[in-house]
Amino acid sequence: MKLIKKTIPLAIVFVFGILTLLTYYVPHKHSVDFLETMNKWENIVTAFAFFLGLISLFYAHSTKISRKADGWGYSLFVFVGFLAIIIPAYISKGKNMNGAELTWMGWAFQYIYNPLSATMFAVLAFYIVSTAYKSFRIKSLQAFVLFVAAMFLILGNVPLGQIIWDKMLGWTGYNISQVVDWIMHVPAVAGKRGIMIGISIGAVVTALKIIFGIERQYLGKD
Amino acid sequence: MLKDKLNAVLKIDRRWIFLALTVVLFGAIIHPLGLLSKNIARDTQNAYEFMDKIPAGSFILLDLDYDPSTAPELSPQAMAVARHAFRNNLRVGVVTYSAGATGLIEQLFAVVPGEFKKEYGKDYVILPYQPNAVAVMTQMASDLYGIYDKDKDGKDTRSMPVMKGIQNYKNISLVVCIAGTSITDIWVAYVGDKYNVPFIAGVTAISQPGYGPYLQKKQMRGLLGGMKGAAEYEHLIKTPGKGSSGIDALSLAHVMVAALIIVSNIAMVILKYL
């Protein structure tokens, strides 16, 4: 049992992990062919993962509905939403447009998915504005630095802000675009680069731990 | 008395702020102010200049990975870039790795190519959605048709005039990725750096500061940031679109946020010393 549940999966991960890693550095035909095959396999596995995700989603929400758990009514909309897109998609054979005309799927996309998705994001703007007013309090040096940087970026990112800057601080001789450019290309880049290097080192270490079988959580608990 | 008033100002019902923002946004949309950026951002200018120098007939890959939530910022960018490409007689291949983008791509390409009398299959092609971006990007390095042998409608791509002479990244003059996701980083790491393919991106304003390192090292030749980037690009190609018309609303909303933050902090400081 240990052979099937642990040894073989670990061996597969080790062999394919090392081979795929090598393809990055070996520009030989066999290496390219191997990578092409892996890419196709990866696409197929990803497609299966979609199905698995769908089954898991349906299972979780149908359980919630059958148990009448808190907010079970919202779970109904998972199925309503799914059917509202999948039925038109099936009728339209997956096409959004038929020539210049919208198909059923195109209609569902444009008049259901599109406005709902856009509304969700647009509502955020209102919460950001009210939260900025109610919560952005300068109570420390760090908050002050954040405030100054935010003001420069807010003003520098829109034409009206540029006009206000020119009227009020034009005498300094500095253009708001120059200030924003400096913020974006010096302190922001330094911070971002530090974060990126940290994340990348973490990713490399995790990948090596998985390839060499040190990290085994993906195998499950058995 | 003043203390009570200031406290009331700080504890104002958030619905008044929502109403004020609504009035500001609607006002700017109904009565545009015609504000235009006096200064074009360096990264937008670089993107425009790089694209403008590509010889006519070259093939560019346009990756559109945004869904309706980020479309107000990114769709004007995509339109402006597509218009620039068609105006310069470039061949365009469109790809996406975001399922929500497929409908938006079709809407965009139902309009823009017609403005320049461009034909599907001859001047541009829309390739089908693929779920696994890294696998596809790696595959395109050796043989693009290993993944994209059919277009979105299942037609053979090899026989299309637009794909003539296109086999892999060596034949692609530029990749432009307009995305509301982190796929931009994947293009840089797996394609731009490794195969030396010129790369330009269009991103939402909120994610724009994160791409500074790529721009500094020329891993990106240019960057369009949010609606401002779209408006600037529209200005450069001299074709005003939704970016230019949306920038007024954005301007007023930005200034309103700044004003609210300043007012609330002044009120807080006064309260502290009362």
**Inter-chain residue contact A147 with B71, CB threshold 8 Å:** no
Closest Cα in chain A, distance from residue B135 (Å): 5
What mean pLDDT is predicted for residues B190-208? 91
**Chain B: closest CA distance from residue A48 (Å):** 11
- Tell me the pLDDT tens digit for each residue of B1-57: 788 888 888 888 889 999 999 998 888 888 877 776 667 888 999 999 999 999 999
Amino acid identity of A71?
G
Binned at pLDDT 50, 70 and 90, residue A199 comes out as: very high
Q: Which residues contact B24 (CB under 8 A, 6 or more apart)?
A: B249, B252, B253, B256
- Quote the mean pLDDT of chain B: 90
Q: Which residues pair with A40 in a beta bridge?
A: none
Output the pLDDT for position B38: 67
State the CB neighbour count (10 A cutoff) for residue A218.
8
Q: Is there a contact between A117 and B216 if contact means CB atoms under 8 Å apart? A: no
Distance of CA A203 to the CA centre of its chain: 17
Whether the Cβ atoms of residue B186 and residue B162 lie closer than 8 Å to each other = no
Q: Do B255 and A154 touch (CB under 8 A)?
A: yes
Chain A: closest CA distance from residue B93 (Å): 18
Structure tokens at A199: 């994340």
Which residue on chain B is closest to A152 by alpha carbon?
B258
The residue of chain A with its CA nearest to that of B99 is: A109
- Mean pLDDT along residues A112-141: 86
Interchain CB distance below 8 Å, B147 and A136: no
Average pLDDT of chain A to the nearest whole number: 88
The confidence score (pLDDT) of residue B90 equals 97
CATH: 3.30.2400.10, 3.40.50.1370, 3.40.50.720, 1.10.3720.10. Which one for B59-250?
3.40.50.720
Residue B270 is encoded by which pair of tokens?
A: 């006064």
Domain spans, chain B: 59-250
Note the pLDDT tens digit of each residue in B225-247. 988 899 999 999 988 888 887 88
pLDDT band at B221 (very low <50, low <70, confident <90, very high): very high
d(CA B65, CA B131) in angstroms, rounded, equals 11
Q: A163: which chain B residues are within 8 Å (Cβ-Cβ)?
A: 35
Instruction: Give B63's pLDDT tier (boundaries 50, 70, 90).
Output: very high
Nearest chain B residue to A186 by CA distance is: B212
Give me the amino acid identity at B120. Y
**Tokens 């339109």, residue located:** B79
Residue A137 to residue B103, Cβ atoms within 8 A: no
- For the cut 80, the answer to whether the pLDDT of residue B117 exceeds it is yes
| CA proximity to B127, closest of B195, B59, B70 | B59
Question: Residue A101: phi, psi to the nearest 5?
Answer: -100, 145
Chain A residues within 8 A of B196 when measuring between CB atoms = none
B68:A132 CB<8 A: no
The answer to whether the Cβ–Cβ distance between B147 and A43 falls below 8 Å is yes
Q: How many CB atoms are located within 10 Å of the residue B103 CB?
A: 22
Nearest to B139 among A36, A158, A193 (CB): A36
pLDDT at position A136: 84
B257–A128: do the CB atoms touch at under 8 Å? yes
User: What kind and span of H or E run contains B177?
Assistant: strand B174-179
Are residues B258 and A151, on separate chains, in Cβ contact within 8 Å? Answer: yes
Per-residue pLDDT, averaged over B170-198, amounts to: 92
Say whether pLDDT at A222 is over 80: no
Q: Residue B10 has what pLDDT?
A: 84
Rounded Cα distance between A122 and A117, Å, is 9
Q: Provide Rg for chain B, Cα atoms.
A: 22
Instruction: Identify the H or E element spanning B219.
Output: none
| The two structure tokens encoding residue B77 | 């960018």
Q: Is A38 on the interface with B (CB under 8 A)?
A: yes
CB atoms B138 and A184 under 8 Å: no
Residue with tokens 């409608």, as numbered in its chain: B153
Mean pLDDT of A43-72: 91
* Contact list, B252 vs chain A (CB under 8 Å): 160
Judged by CB atoms closer than 8 Å, whether chains meet at B254 and A95 is answered as no
ipTM comes to 0.74
Whether the pLDDT of residue A120 is over 80: the answer is yes
Q: How far apart, in Å, are the Cα atoms of B19 and each of A129, A130, B14?
A: 11, 11, 9
Count of Cβ atoms closer than 10 Å to residue A44 Cβ:
12
d(CA A148, nearest CA chain B) in Å: 11
Q: Chains A, B: CB contacts under 8 A, how many?
A: 174
